[in-house]
């Protein structure tokens, strides 16, 4: 089954008084285009995280986010009491020495002093915590892959419907082929006899008609298009990672349909070709999403 490149996954785990969140989004892209936002504590593991993502997702425009939600008690920035006391003593000394009035609002003054409300982070990532984080990342990736599979199933259903329609339209051309040849012969003969009013060698005309009609023959195009349709189905059944190949096959289908249209020389056949082009265009739009 093919997979879509569109996906979303999210997972959460609790560890040591905090919640670890992972969110991953992906869209279609010709190659792997990975963007990461990682909490400072886990940045030392960025290369390992990137390798895990690229190994699992293969291709797509991927946005990865890993952040921490701390409990209220731990999230609050502590006031450095010793530093506040030191500033208080210094300000009093300066006031007495320089005869400067003391501040009216001590709290407002002291809390504005440098480093009074500065959190000093000295955390190190422990192996136990990293194991939890890695598990959360894996869960989010699994969710995203499941999402891609669901979208891929919808794509496969859409492709099958469009391929069926093109096959049906291709078969509907057949009744007009003999009629087309008869009309071409009639139109040329009528032009010679009535419009130009000239005598002509009927045997030579027959030879020229055969040559002209052979140039308008579309049997080869029909056969190649039928082969491409069959190959498209086989490639879809081959599993994910076939998106680029499906795109190439769709291009080849377009060439055969265009050649059929240019050779048709018949209004009804040209209408059918336009319908086939419409079906193929919808395949080309959606195949960009296939992994």
Q: In this model, does residue 197 exceed pLDDT 60? A: no
Q: What does the pLDDT look like over 230-262, one tens digit per residue?
A: 999 999 888 767 889 999 999 999 999 999 888
R_g (Cα) of the chain, nearest Å: 36
Sort strands 32-38 and 60-70 into parallel, antiparallel or unpaired: parallel
Residue 285 CA to its chain's centroid (Å): 11
In whole angstroms, what is the distance from residue 10 CA to residue 24 CA?
6
Nearest one of 48, 34, 39 to 70, comparing CA atoms: 39
Compute the CA torsion angle 132, 138, 143, 149 (nearest 10 deg).
-170
Q: What does the pLDDT look like over 161-185, one tens digit per residue?
A: 999 999 999 999 888 877 776 676 6
Neighbour-count burial for 236-247, b at 16+ CB within 10 Å, e otherwise: beeebebbebbe
Size (the chain), residues:
291
Indicate the CATH number for domain 7-74+125-149.
3.30.230
What pLDDT score does 112 carry?
A: 77
> How many angstroms separate the Cα of 194 from the Cα of each of 59, 183, 190, 191?
65, 16, 6, 6
Q: DSSP assignment, residue 276?
A: H
Find out whether 4 and 148 touch, Cβ atoms under 8 Å. Answer: yes
Q: In what order do the strands lie in the sheet with 60-70?
A: 7-15, 18-27, 60-70, 32-38
Q: What does the pLDDT look like over 115-162, one tens digit per residue?
A: 777 655 556 788 999 999 999 999 999 999 999 999 999 999 999 999
What pLDDT score does 2 carry?
A: 86
User: DSSP labels for 153-168?
Assistant: HHHHHHHHHHHHHHHH
In three-state secondary structure terms, 179 is helix
Q: What does the pLDDT look like over 62-99, one tens digit per residue?
A: 999 999 887 655 556 677 788 888 888 888 888 888 88
């Amino acid at each position: 089954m093919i997979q879509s490149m569109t996906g979303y996954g999210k997972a959460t785990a609790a560890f040591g008084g905090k919640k670890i969140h992972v969110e991953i989004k992906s869209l279609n892209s010709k190659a792997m285009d990975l963007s990461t936002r990682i909490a400072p504590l886990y940045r030392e593991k960025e290369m390992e995280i990137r390798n895990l993502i690229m190994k699992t997702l293969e291709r797509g425009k991927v946005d990865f986010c890993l952040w921490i939600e701390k409990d209220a008690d731990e999230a609050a920035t502590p006031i450095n009491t010793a530093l506040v006391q030191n500033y208080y003593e210094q300000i009093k000394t300066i006031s007495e020495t320089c005869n400067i009035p003391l501040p009216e609002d001590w709290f407002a003054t002291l809390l504005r002093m440098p480093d009074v409300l500065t959190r000093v982070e000295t955390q190190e990532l422990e192996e136990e915590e990293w194991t939890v984080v890695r598990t959360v990342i894996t869960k989010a990736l699994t969710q995203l892959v499941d999402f891609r599979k669901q979208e891929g199933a919808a794509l496969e259903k859409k492709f099958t419907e469009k391929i069926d329609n093109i096959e049906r339209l291709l078969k509907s051309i057949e009744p007009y082929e003999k009629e087309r040849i008869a009309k071409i012969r009639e139109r040329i003969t009528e032009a010679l006899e009535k419009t130009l009013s000239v005598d002509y060698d009927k045997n030579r005309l027959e030879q020229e008609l055969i040559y002209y009609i052979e140039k308008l023959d579309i049997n080869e195009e029909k056969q190649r298009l039928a082969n491409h349709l069959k190959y498209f189905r086989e490639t879809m059944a081959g599993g994910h990672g076939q998106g680029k190949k499906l795109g190439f096959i769709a291009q080849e289908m377009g060439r055969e349909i265009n050649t059929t249209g240019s050779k048709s020389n018949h209004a009804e056949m040209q209408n059918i070709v336009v319908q086939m082009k419409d079906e193929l265009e919808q395949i080309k739009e959606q195949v960009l999403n296939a992994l």
